[in-house]
A = this chain, B = another copy of it.
Amino acid sequence: MAETEGLPGSFGTSSSLAIRLGQIVFSTASLLFMCLDVDFYSYTVFSNFVVVMGILIPWSLTMAMVDAWSVFTDCAPRRRRRKTVFMIIVGDMFLSYILLAAAASTAGVTDAMIKAGGFCSPKLCSRYQLSAAMAFLCWFLLISSSLFNLWQLPSL
């Protein structure tokens, strides 16, 4: 299998699978921290956050499945297609932008709510903060998988 592996972290390798699994873990944790509270839909920012997560999780799941298939069936030609990798880079970039926007606005609003006081109980506030922190970690993984793929693109 070693000879069919591309650059570590690029589409179809086992390290890419690990990055995708990390994305799934962080984005699911972030969504759960936000959604187990029933009040999220009364704030525009938090609803937007949930929508972005609803797009991100299926994307990461699909990519993780394709990576797993590529790693375990050892199917090399699959990962040589330039167009596929390009589409994945564009998707990752797009998602990383909307995820960063959602995470930043969630963090900003949570911070403002804590400073203003009376808008959320300390427990609820810390849950929003945790959710934003998880989203930032997820963004970090998303941008790294996008950069690894971009790095490999010229050699395809």
A75 part of interface (Cβ distance < 8 Å): no
- 24 contacting pairs across A/B (C-beta < 8 A): A43-B112, A43-B115, A44-B108, A44-B112, A44-B115, A45-B112, A97-B97, A97-B100, A100-B104, A101-B101, A101-B103, A102-B104, A104-B104, A104-B105, A104-B108, A105-B105, A105-B108, A105-B109, A108-B108, A109-B109, A109-B112, A112-B112, A112-B113, A116-B119
| Chain B neighbourhood of A107, CB < 8 A | 105
Q: Are B45 and A111 in contact (CB under 8 A)?
A: yes
* A20, chain B: closest CB distance, angstroms: 21
Q: Does A106 belong to the interface (CB within 8 Å)? A: yes
A77 within 8 A of B: no
CB distance from A52 to the nearest CB of B (A): 11
Q: CB-CB contacts of A140-156 with B at 8 A, as 1s and 0s?
A: 00000000000000100
Q: Which residue of B lies closest to A150 (CB)?
A: B150
A105 to B109, CA, bound (A): 7
